[in-house]
Amino acid sequence: MRFVLGIESSCDETAAAVVEDGRIVHSNVIASQIETHKIYGGVVPEIASREHLSKITAVVAQALEQAGKSFAEIDGIAVTCGPGLVGSLLVGLAYAKSVAFALGKPLIGIHHIEGHIFSVAFEHPPVSYPALAFIISGGHTNLFWMPEAGHYVRLGHTRDDAAGEAYDKVAKLLGLAYPGGPILDRMAKAGDAAAAPLVFRPPLMPDAPYDFSFSGLKTAVLRFVREQHLETKVPAEPLPQVYFDVAASFQQAVVQTLVKTLGRALRDYPVQTVVIGGGVACNSALRKGLEELAAHSQTPIYVPSPVYTTDNAAMIAAAGHFRFSRGERSDWTLGVNPALKLHHSDIRPPTQRKIRYRS
């Protein structure tokens, strides 16, 4: 399976890509809907699905054109089948099925999170196993142990909002625009975290030391906003310094929580590589924290370039190539599942010490 056409439409990006041998990107076209949803402060599912429907044909055509390939030269089609917004997923799957059926091409449904795990394939050496995969995005904060390629054991996940969702909600509390992640990241660079201390400590979960919860941090920001009588509507320019300080304090708490939890897992489990994926991996403070953790732990941590951290079809094509190479195919009964779970093994990963919570 040499050339795979990937199609991704799980949320608010319509994307198509042509990838060779799972590692060489010939095209990676993404049509974003950020401007469409910005006035609503978040993604509106019905609008998102209509946008996908109007754009997908042109996006796929552009991906093929940039790659210099025709449909006849594509060896297989990989498409996201979950998790995500059901209407958005249906558009991508219906298009992929139609093309595969009309051209007699093999089809494979791909788990969106598995796609993020394969997003490091284009710029890094092959992953050495066992490995950890840490997916941090607007919809997911999941930590997996991988004894081998395609085998996933979930160690931890978020108990409430994912990290990206926390960024968007805190930005809304401060009267800032959507999406909040890039805005708060930029503001944090000009802020002093110590000048706006947030009363927050990661929750103690002795039975789940790799789980996450950001609801308390959001509450801490809300309390600070009320105590300081900050505007919750879009404030006038220039912004007072306190807004930048809150952004710095919030970001420091999120990044420290994520990096410390990953560091704990590195101490607890024998791994040779760490794979990072998801939109929050664009965050500058997180990337710096991961770089320092890699140096301290002497474990390679693969972080994709920003274009491959957000939802894209190249990662879906790479995951599809892997699945095709194992002889896997989807039949015409393939459907979408907005709550699709990534395969969890019953095998207990070998630990290097007794697991207990450590702050």
Domain-wise residue ranges, the chain: 3-119+307-325, 127-303
Judge whether residue 357 has pLDDT over 50: no
pTM beyond 0.85? yes
Q: What is the pLDDT of residue 331?
A: 96
Render 138-191 in DSSP notation, one character per residue.
SS-EEEEEESSTT--EEEEEBSSS-HHHHHHHHHHHTTPPSSHHHHHHHHHTT-
Q: How far apart are CA 256 and CA 172, in angstroms?
A: 22
pLDDT grade for 359, boundaries at 50, 70 and 90? very low
Q: Which of 52, 56, 74 is CA-nearest to residue 64?
A: 74
pLDDT digits (tens, 9 = 90+) for 295-310: 999 999 999 999 999 9
Fold classification of 127-303 is: Nucleotidyltransferase; domain 5 (3.30.420)
pLDDT digits (tens, 9 = 90+) for 80-99: 999 999 999 999 999 999 99
Q: What is the pLDDT of residue 230?
A: 84
Q: Higher-confidence residue: 160 or 322?
A: 322
Q: How far apart are CA 32 and CA 13, in angstroms?
A: 5
Judge whether residue 119 has pLDDT over 80: yes
Residue 232 · residue 175 · CB < 8 Å: yes
Q: Higher-confidence residue: 229 or 167?
A: 167
pLDDT digits (tens, 9 = 90+) for 248-269: 999 999 999 999 999 999 999 9
Q: What is the pLDDT of residue 139?
A: 84
Residue 265 · residue 216 · CB < 8 Å: no
pLDDT digits (tens, 9 = 90+) for 169-216: 999 999 999 999 999 999 999 999 999 998 877 766 777 889 999 989
| DSSP H stretches of helix in the chain | 34-38, 45-67, 86-103, 112-117, 163-173, 180-188, 215-227, 241-268, 284-297, 306-309, 313-325
Q: How far apart are CA 229 and CA 1, in angstroms?
A: 60
Residue 213 · residue 202 · CB < 8 Å: yes
- Mode of pairing for the β-strands spanning 131-136 and 273-277: parallel
Q: What is the pLDDT of residue 320?
A: 98
Q: What is the CATH number of domain 3-119+307-325?
A: 3.30.420.40
Q: Compute the average pLDDT of residues 58-82.
A: 98
pLDDT digits (tens, 9 = 90+) for 330-350: 999 999 999 999 976 666 777
Judge whether residue 57 has pLDDT over 80: yes
Judge whether residue 353 has pLDDT over 60: no
> Are both 3-119+307-325 and 127-303 of the same fold?
yes
Q: Compute the average pLDDT of residues 223-239.
A: 81
Structure tokens of 162?
A: 């994912």
Residue 165 · residue 138 · CB < 8 Å: yes
Q: Among 6-20, 57-71, 121-135, 191-205, which is the least confidently predicted range?
A: 191-205
